[in-house]
Amino acid sequence: MHGTIESGFRVEIRRLDELAAFAPELRLLTARAIAPNVFYEPAFMAAAAPVFGRDVLAGLVWRRAMPRELIGLFPVSIVRRRYGLKLPILIGWAHPYGPLGTPLIDRNCSAAAVTAWLDHVAADPALPKFLLMPYLPADGEIAQAFDAALSHRDGRSRHFALHKRAMLAPEGDRAGYLDQAMGTKKRKELRRQRKRLADTGNLTSTTTSDPVDLTAALADFLSLEASGWKGRAGTAAQGHDAISRFVVDAVTALAAEGKASVAWLALDGRAIATIVTLRSGSAAWCWKIAYDEAFSRASPGVQLLLDVTEAMLSDASIARADSCATPDHPMINHIWRERLALSDRMICVAPRDATLFARVCRLESFRRSAIDAIKRLRKLLRRT
């Protein structure tokens, strides 16, 4: 699908499998993005699309220039019966392995790019007029770009599931960050645990993005994850062939561009903890972590996270790192002290639909309340 607007911009809708043709333009956009999103990096999207993006479309915003310039990427899908009614909603692309819905927007014209996209959604008869953007930053430059675009068109929006997750965004003394964040008593206890672990064998901490070492490191990660609580819950990647292939393909492709690495803590050559880290621009993501529960008394996951954190703190090219963790995570929240505010933002792109928008918001609230109630009931039934 193609579409145009009468301005200095042009918007077109493409399938995800068509984006390979725009790889050079997408890489330039990721470098200029006002807020990086590794899950919208071309390499990651290509690996994720067959598993999590079969019905996803990509809104491409171009500046009318010679040569033309890509200034916005908005991956979305059309969900026609989200509420059991014939009421289609346009939903931004996020999934369990890509928990961030920040669109890629050129830092030099962020509000204009968002305005061009919303104008196109409003004008295109094939697209719903209500847009739900999951895991969208609730403050900062991205939120400001959406606020400016909505103000310009007298649009409306509402935040759902507003929450904060741990983030590493050091200011000032990076060398003393961990002591200040955790306290000397806790750090001393972790050093004692680490020494006790080292006394039982040869303890090593290694990080790699080398293709040969990466293959073995990813195999260790998948195995460790499957041996823990995710394996028992049936959510480990290794239990699903398509997902485990996606993990390997995504990390390998990003690593080839210097945007992924795997760290592992090994005892006598056997991995007891692994962390997969992703990079895009000045940002990093602590994407996946797994550890051997047999060594839980020595906190191998925490030990390795401290190694990874220290490496990030010593790397001036990393301005911030997203934990990808749940809110109030019992481990990383006590180590990474900054917070990333996110919400699922419902947007009405056409002012004339304000009354219907209020109904959509009520339906969305009801849907979320019903899901929460079902989750509570399931937990209750497991206990009985």
For the four alpha carbons of 194, 198, 200 and 201, in that order, the dihedral sign comes to positive
The CATH number of 170-318 is: 3.40.630.30
Tens digits of residue pLDDT in 40-79: 999 999 999 999 999 999 999 999 877 889 999 999 999 9
CB 217 within 8 A of CB 208: yes
CB 92 within 8 A of CB 133: yes
For the four alpha carbons of 94, 96, 100 and 103, in that order, the dihedral sign comes to negative
Tens digits of residue pLDDT in 260-309: 999 999 999 999 999 999 999 999 999 999 999 999 999 999 999 999 99
pLDDT at residue 6 greater than cutoff 60:
no
User: How large is the angle between the packed helices 42-52 and 23-32, nearest 10 degrees?
Assistant: 110
CB 289 within 8 A of CB 76: no
DSSP 300: H
Residue type, 360: V
CB 357 within 8 A of CB 345: no
Tens digits of residue pLDDT in 220-231: 999 999 999 999
Using CA atoms, how far apart are residues 49 and 93, in angstroms rounded to an integer?
Answer: 10
Structure token digits, residue 312: 């990030």
pLDDT, mean over the chain: 94
Domain assignments of the chain as residue spans, ordered by start: 2-162+343-383, 170-318
Query: Worst-scoring range by mean pLDDT, 33-42, 78-87, 300-309?
Result: 78-87
How many CB atoms sit inside 10 A of residue 212's CB? Answer: 8
DSSP 47: H
Q: What percent of the chain has pLDDT over 90?
A: 87
Equal fold, 2-162+343-383 vs 170-318: yes
Using CA atoms, how far apart are residues 228 and 245, in angstroms rounded to an integer?
Answer: 20
pLDDT at 379: 81
For tokens 């917070």, what's the residue? 339
Whole-Å CA distances, 196 to 132, 193, 201, 207, 270? 50, 5, 10, 22, 17
Using CA atoms, how far apart are residues 238 and 277, in angstroms rounded to an integer?
Answer: 18
Using CA atoms, how far apart are residues 332 and 166, in angstroms rounded to an integer?
Answer: 7
Tens digits of residue pLDDT in 141-188: 999 999 999 988 888 999 999 999 999 999 888 999 999 999 989 999
3-state secondary structure of 69: strand
Q: Per this entry, what is the length of the chain?
A: 384
6-10 mean pLDDT: 78
The CATH number of 2-162+343-383 is: 3.40.630.30
